Structure 1
Amino acid sequence: MKKGLFKKKIFIFFLSIMLILMFAIVLLYYYNDKKVEANQSSLEIEQFANAQFNKIDLQLNIALNYLMNIKSHIQIEKFAIGDTLDFYNVLKIQNELKKNILYIDNLDYYIGITKNQEEALVITPFTTTNQSKYYNQIGISEDKQEWLKNKIKDMKYNREYLLVTGYEYCDESNDRVLNYILKDDYFGNGECVFIVTIKEKSLFSTLLEMNKGSWFINREDKIIAKHKNMDNESFLNEDEIINYLKSNNNSIEEKEFNLKGFKGIIVPSNVLDWKYIYVESKPSIANKILDIFIKLLIPYILLIIISIYITIKITKKLYEPINSMVNSFEEFTEVSEVDEFEFIKKKTNEMKLQNKRLEAMLLEDKNIINEKALKDLLLGIKDIHKAKFSDSTIPEGKAIVCILEIWKNEEDLINENIVLVKSNLRAKAFELTNVEFVNVDYKTCALIFNVNTAQEAIKIIKDAVEEVEENFEIEITAALGKIVDSYEKINESFKDANKIMEYKFALGQKFILTSEELKSIKDRTYYYPLGVENKLIFSVIEGNIKEVNTVITNLVEENFILRNLDNKSRKGFAFSLFSSINRILQELKEMPEDFFGDDIQYYDNFITLSNEKDIITGIERLFKIMIAKINEDKDEDNGRLADEMMNYIHENYHKDISLNDISEYLNLSVKYSSLLFKRVTGSNFKEILNKHRIDRAKEILEKNPKIKIGELANLVGYNSSNSFIRVFKKYVGISPGIYGEKFN
């Protein structure tokens, strides 16, 4: 690096900021411009399309009003109820139809009147014919006519209509037509069918000279009419439009249309249950690129030029004091390749580092001395006058001790994790002026609070401990002793907290245990704390008949000799034991019927027992059966499971495996697998896995001493080189690098 490099860094930094800022400004301008343009385009589409749709609605309204008027004529009624054909009445109907037919405001339509009878007469403005010929004329083929007659027969009077599309004379080269079919009843004496036939192109007559967009009319799940004006653009598929309408829940409200490269509007008809759809294509990619170039790139290029000029000025001004400072160092003037700022940072960091090291050493010595003195006070080894503190200052006022016990799965609670947890707790204590940390033993530490009330201490504990629990995925139980008058008596508070911690299982292993909760034990109806339950379950699973008998004897003595339980409490105690039995079966992954076999009646009847003598007999009998069954299968299974466990480790040690994985492989619970592993191997899963991995690593190093440590770590299942080196040192006594040098 040469002199002036920091100046370049300043220039690049400010130029980058300026360019990003300018780009953001131009992008915001472009975005707002496009937003205004899109709103204007939507408004234009809405106004243009609504004007055309209103014309179609007006035409339909006139035609349907005329139909309603025709229906009420006396001649139509006579035609409907007459059994014989009255030709004079037919002529009158034709004359009436001729008055207003053919063109109404450019709408090309005509009306046919008939009865829903086989080959009934159809009356039109200029002629009469039979149904088959007329249906064929209005685009309804012969194979569809029978369907139409049945549909007309099922229609309700004046309450629904049919809409049938087709081509005149069933020829697709002719005009496409829409047939609006309505049925009416005349006082129950007869009925008429009215067929209004509208030519599709007349609906869009005002659009024929336009070269813009496409128009569709939709009813239910069909496009019943369409008109395309777009010359050089792809035409939307009708199925795509119908699917789009369905995806929008066929809303009857006016809304925008936005599909693929098209935009438009959907407007419901005010006359019929139709939807009008107008669609036009969005701007092409070429037009979009041109638009971006004109509105975005050209302004940005101009702003880049301005940004460069401003950056040069800022860089020159900022660099002046730096340049002056570095040139004042004699050492700097003697070198030709160095970064000015890095040079200053290096010198400053060297001084800071030395200062921090000195401070850390002093603070560490002070903290070690103080923690040792506090531990002596806490454990009652020395009194306050003999305990040696780094300074003579001892906090005044009341004090309270909280014992923290760390909990986690035994396989994962390695020494490293405990050290890290305690380090975090110690750091949090140092941050507070009224809290002291003391390391008690392997899984236990203590916090000494200089507070007036227990609530103050509880608040601090929650804030500090909950964060540590979350970060390290562990559980911590806190036992809070009584408040004492001074630090001289903290041993009393410590003893009180220890006593409370002994009842952690009986108290439900809550987060913070206090003396108030200890008093609540006396109010319980029967004695069966969680610690005792876990001990009983594990002893049964291990087949330890001596330990099981001891636990059962203690439970019987506590609940039936030392306590006078009522019937409800006895049942509660029996139910709790029954739940424990079920937990044991779950751990063993056994069904009650399969496990107990011929003795299943003792299991089934146990929960119904209420008599004291019957419950005691039932408990002893059930657990005797379970122990016998487990010990009977244990010897046979242990050898097989031991082989399977070791084979699994040997085959999968290079993967990121855990006790959960081997439990799934063996189809056992994690807790049972942990107990079983220790029983058949004499060690825990983590220990066996690490030993095997290190043995394999040693073999690889002996064959290939020059292998990279990171690569070797991955080969034997470690994701972190640091973790691998630490474990290797633990089992071998030296690092893998030094071990490999022996074979180089």
Structure 2
Amino acid sequence: VYKKEEKNYNKYLISQIEEKKRIFQLKTDLLYSSILDLKNENTFLEYESNPTPYNLLKVFKTLKIKNSFFSKFGYKISFGNSDSNIFITPEETVNKNDFFTTLKFQLNSKDNLQITDDESTMYLLNFPSKLETLQKSLWLITIDKSIFFSDIKTKDIGQWAIEKNNNFYSIMPSLEKLKISNKKNLYIFKDNAFDFNLIFQQKKHNLFPNIFFDILKILILTTAIFICILKIFNFFQNPIIYINQRKNLKDYILGIKSVKDIDSFTEKFENLKFPLRLVLIELFDSDTPELYTDTLPIVKDYLITSLNNSSQYEYVDIDYKSILFIVSEEALIDIDDGFSFLLEHVQKKYNLKLTASVSNEIFYLDTLPKEYIKCKRILNFKFLYSSYFVILESFTNKNNPSFFYSIDIENKLANRLLNGNFLGCKKIIDEIFEDIDSNLDKNKVNDFSLLLCNTLGRVTSQLGEFDINNKIDIHIKETSIPNLKNTFLKFCKEICDLKQVEENSTNIEIKNKIQQYLEDNYSNDFSLEDLSEYLGFSFRYTSLLFKKNMGDNFKNYLNLFRINKSKEIIQNNKNIKIKEVAELVGYNSSNTFIRIFKKYEGISPARFFLENITDN
């Protein structure tokens, strides 16, 4: 029993350590990307090159806006210049030397990262590294331990800390100075983002209480069975309480259930305060989600983990390509900045483009489903506003372009283009341009051309060989609707022609491959499945390709091919036996060969042999 408990505990311990380490790494990645995001902003670059009072004010305002978002996740960022004694915090500008002395930082340290902490806060001071000789920026990250590290608590199994230069800093709020004396049960992980180690010290674990509880379990087995019976009874009495609360929330937002059908939502959602806003995040290239089946779940997990610390956010996993966040009591500008930052980071880190739409303020629960539908409609404009990570309803209301066409129309056009169906494309293009004013001003014509370019770009990205880049410039230069339509039709015609050429060349290539395979293998016993493996296609697709390219099904064509080969052999060898001919053309049985020969030629092989001798 002891060994069993020890094995189970170690398995649990390792899984907890790995999970908490993963969450910690996501958080430090977020910190690092926040600094990079600020470092590359023009506001900070201008201040570094020209630290005037005006540029300082711009930096202060930017920091204040950014930190209103960062603080929800338990951290703030301050900024300064190594050549200046002014340091800019989210609240005020301070004297750098006095400020660093108060926080117990060593100004003459050679480390590019210093760490200090107190009971509730941790401070990370990032200096320019030796590799960045031209960089002068100083970045201070102030971490609220109770928020930032809230989901890395493992008091039952041990304690976590950050180690730098043999100094240990607890990630949990504590009045006691952390001491790591026994390094026997110490786990050390190098952080990927910052120059420090993540430390976990295992707590001494007494297994004998567990053994006692195992014995106790046996003694109370009958009680457990009785409790299970009660639960089953309660389940049938009150089945609604056993429905997953998150599913209730999803079903309500999607309009599948009404409030009267739902007993409770998630606790976090019920604690959100009105007004609310919905933020619907969707895969930008939502027509080809199969390309992102491995990455998208990881990205969703990253977004959930990043926003999980805040009590102002709840999430609903809508489907394979989208996720919804419900935001409480937050200004629209903060939502825009915050989610733009997150989605930009996702694109850089995971090479995956996501787009978000934001609803109006929601003051009553019963308007939640309607606002979700609005978010879906706003995302119809994502290709028009492809340069934005977050699309607000004000975009669509302000511009509400008369030249807009829906994603459904675009999908139909793309399918016809990829199938080489130009007449079908022309019909859809006529519908798109039908209600557009031919006297549309130049700016709107330019916007419309950009929208059309996005559509062409999505299609041509799937073609590979077709270079459309030069054509896009011509689209942008068009100044009238009639010219734009003609140019767009011309490009569509080129794409359709390309597809036709591609399909024809592919057919010739496949036909040649099939003929060569038959020539090399007709004397062997092979099947359509063997041919499909050779071509690299599925059995069903190979069957369709064979009939399309060879004009007959596989069985008939192969039999006829072998019979023609047998006739050549008979004509060239007067002394050969029928059995030998059958084997040479791939038939194991001479009877089968004779039957098939007679079926296709109308006479037996022997008769053909005699007629051939007579003719000679």
TM-score using structure 2 length: 0.37
* TM-score, length basis structure 1: 0.31
Q: Which has the larger radius of gyration?
A: 1
